[in-house]
Amino acid sequence: MARISESTVRRLSHYYRVLEEVEDEGKRLISSHRLAEREGVTSAQVRKDLSCFGSFGRRGLGYNVAHLRREIRAILGLDRRWRVAVVGVGNLGTALMLYRGFQRQGFDVVAAFDRDPARIGQRLGDLVVRDIAELPAAARGGIDMGVIATPVRAAQEVADALVAAGVRGILNLAPRKLFVPSHVALRNVDMTVEFETLSFALNHLTPPARRRRPRA
Amino acid sequence: MARISESTVRRLSHYYRVLEEVEDEGKRLISSHRLAEREGVTSAQVRKDLSCFGSFGRRGLGYNVAHLRREIRAILGLDRRWRVAVVGVGNLGTALMLYRGFQRQGFDVVAAFDRDPARIGQRLGDLVVRDIAELPAAARGGIDMGVIATPVRAAQEVADALVAAGVRGILNLAPRKLFVPSHVALRNVDMTVEFETLSFALNHLTPPARRRRPRA
DNA sequence: TTTTGTGAACGTGTTCACAGCG
DNA sequence: CGCTGTGAACACGTTCACAAAA
């Protein structure tokens, strides 16, 4: 199997969601074209993406919804449960912990950590926030992924601690580049960057009326 | 000025952050190489990105930190304030509203909306949550960007309402592709996709020990 | 005839390598 | 000599277009 591009994996995740919907609608078959239009990509893209993993369709017919869904489910590793630890239970970390959607997809938040004594011991959902110092001990229960929702200054340190604790995937929400060993998967979600790319777009894409600032 | 790629804009945002740090450290000059290493890109990339907007460096010396920072600030549109409305004040929407970091970068949350009567009227920070039906009226105060933090099913409808209210940029946090007119900038942050790409990586990148499932 | 699966063509973003300037 | 700015080379992802299969 050739190397899979990140964009392909992201789209797989989208296809999977569409397939869930379509299955609920009771459809048995779906063409690459229909699968594509719901996510705003081309049908060729869908077929290319899927062809990285096998031949799941039938020419002239399309794809069996239930079957394709199961295949993608297995490809994405959603046919098992993942144990997730959240580090940093400020607004964002807490929001993530309380969001039930992830659990539905196979992600269980099994531990929450913070450094702030005011937060340690606090109950969130059905977990108690623990001291970050307890991470190594807690990790012996087996933690697959860590979510970093701490302030920027603590982020790298927490990443190191997670790696040391044997975590193999990290979702970083802190606005800072993190360095981790190559055997650890790292994904960054940086709201600041998102806001700033929007601000760039609004600043440059010609507004309906007069242009905003003619670049002094 | 040629078309600017999205990746370039995202990196600009990163460079900006590094420049803030470096300026605080009291450095006056920085080379493309040093600017690059903090964000894990190549120095050529930094120079290419910057060259889209002008020649800000001096050969043999590097870039003047304060000057480059001001330039990028203007390019990203961070030298003004942006009025942001948050729609959907569940866990995530609330977290975003209460996060002070955006305000520091020029983004002011000036209104919050929800559909749930239990939430309408509630005080969050120094805003009162309003009925989403009041969006058109509230938008007459001038709203630049909208953040969609509603459940999936409401997302497209809210997007349409934001567009109708004259919003020109949307940050979508709901896990669903949205369709907006081309004059509206749209950015998606989809935590579900992030978790699932991590799950894919953990499922495929060879684990230290035995391989998980040999693809039945 | 419909729709997949896929090599080839294309376009875009990244890296290289060096000329140009301080 | 050091470092920027940039055309040229390269790598990679997307789209095209069609042969193969139902």
* Average pLDDT value for residue range B73-91: 98
3-class secondary structure, B128 = strand
Predicted pLDDT at A213: 38
Contact A74, A12 (CB under 8 A): no
Q: What are phi and psi of A138, to 5 degrees?
A: -65, -35
Alpha-carbon distance of B131 to B117, in angstroms, equals 8
Q: What are phi and psi of B109, to 5 degrees?
A: -75, 110
3-class secondary structure, B116 = coil
Predicted pLDDT at B184: 97
* Average pLDDT value for residue range B93-101: 93
Q: What is the pLDDT of residues B32-44, one digit of tens each?
A: 999 999 989 999 9
Tell me which residue in A107, A144, A202 faces B168 most closely, judged by beta carbons: A202
pLDDT band at B119 (very low <50, low <70, confident <90, very high): very high
Q: What is the pLDDT of residues B161-208, one digit of tens each?
A: 999 999 999 999 999 999 999 999 999 999 999 999 999 999 987 654
Give the residues across from B123 on adjacent strands: B128
Q: How far is CA A169 from each of CA A6, A145, A191, A216, B202, rounded to the nearest angstrom?
A: 15, 5, 20, 45, 7
How many contacts, defined by CB atoms under 8 Å, are there between A and B?
193
* A64-89 burial: b if 16+ Cβ within 10 Å, else e: bbeebbebbbbbbbbeeebbbbbbbb
Restricting to A residues 40-79, those with a Cβ less than 8 Å away from any Cβ of B are 40, 74-78
A116 touches chain B (CB under 8 A): no
Pairing of strands A62-64, A29-30: antiparallel
pLDDT band at B103 (very low <50, low <70, confident <90, very high): confident
CB of B51 under 7 A from strand D? yes
Of residues A165, A62, A154, A67, the one with CA closest to residue A110: A165
Contact B167, B184 (CB under 8 A): yes
Alpha-carbon distance of A29 to A45, in angstroms, equals 18
The nt closest to A58 (CA vs C1′) is C4
CB of A60 under 7 A from strand D? yes
Tell me which residue in A14, A98, A205 faces B185 most closely, judged by beta carbons: A205
Predicted pLDDT at B206: 60
Sheet of strand A29-30: strand arrangement? A29-30, A62-64, A57-58
Which residue of chain B is at minimal alpha-carbon distance from A90?
B95
* pLDDT < 50: residue spans in chain A: 208-216
Q: What is the pLDDT of residues B108-117, one digit of tens each?
A: 999 999 999 9
Predicted pLDDT at B81: 97
Of residues A142, A118, A120, the one with CA closest to residue A130: A120
Predicted pLDDT at A187: 98
Contact B180, B164 (CB under 8 A): no
Contact B16, B38 (CB under 8 A): no
B200 touches chain A (CB under 8 A): yes
Contact B152, B177 (CB under 8 A): no
How many CA atoms does the CB half-sphere of B87 hold within 13 Å? 34
Residues 6 or more apart whose Cβ sits within 8 Å of residue B146: B84, B85, B86, B87, B158, B159, B162, B165, B167, B169, B170, B171
Which token pair is B151?
């459940």
Q: Is A60 exposed, middle or buried (0-12, 13-18, 19+ CB in 10 A)?
A: exposed
Distance D5 C1' – B103 CA (angstroms): 35
Q: What pTM does this model have?
A: 0.94
Cα-Cα-Cα-Cα torsion A165, A168, A172, A178, nearest 10 degrees, comes to: 80
Long-range contact list for B110-117, CB < 8 A, 24+ apart? B110/B83, B110/B84, B110/B85, B110/B141, B110/B143, B111/B85, B111/B86, B111/B138, B111/B141, B111/B143, B112/B85, B112/B86, B112/B87, B113/B85, B113/B86, B113/B87, B113/B88, B113/B89, B113/B138, B114/B87, B114/B88, B114/B89, B115/B150, B115/B154
As ranges, strand C nucleotides with an atom below 7 A of a protein CB are: 1-7, 12-17, 20-22
Longest dimension (CA), chain A: 63
Distance C5 C1' – A50 CA (angstroms): 10
Residues 6 or more apart whose Cβ sits within 8 Å of residue A15: A35, A39, A46, A49, A50, A68, A72
Contact residues on chain A for B36, CB-CB shorter than 8 A:
none
Tell me which residue in B82, B95, B207 faces A199 most closely, judged by beta carbons: B82
Does an H or E element contain A89, and which? Answer: none
Tell me which residue in B106, B176, B197 faces A9 most closely, judged by beta carbons: B197
Measured in Å, how far apart are chain B's first and last C-alpha atoms? 52
Asked if the Cβ–Cβ distance from B171 to A199 is below 8 Å, we say no
**Cα of A59 to nearest chain B Cα, Å:** 23
Torsion over CA: B84, B85, B87, B89 (sign): positive
* Average pLDDT value for residue range B10-24: 97
Predicted pLDDT at B12: 98
Distance C6 C1' – A43 CA (angstroms): 13
* pLDDT higher than threshold 90 for residue B122: yes
Distance D19 C1' – A52 CA (angstroms): 19
Mean pLDDT, chain B, whole residue set: 93
Predicted pLDDT at A211: 36
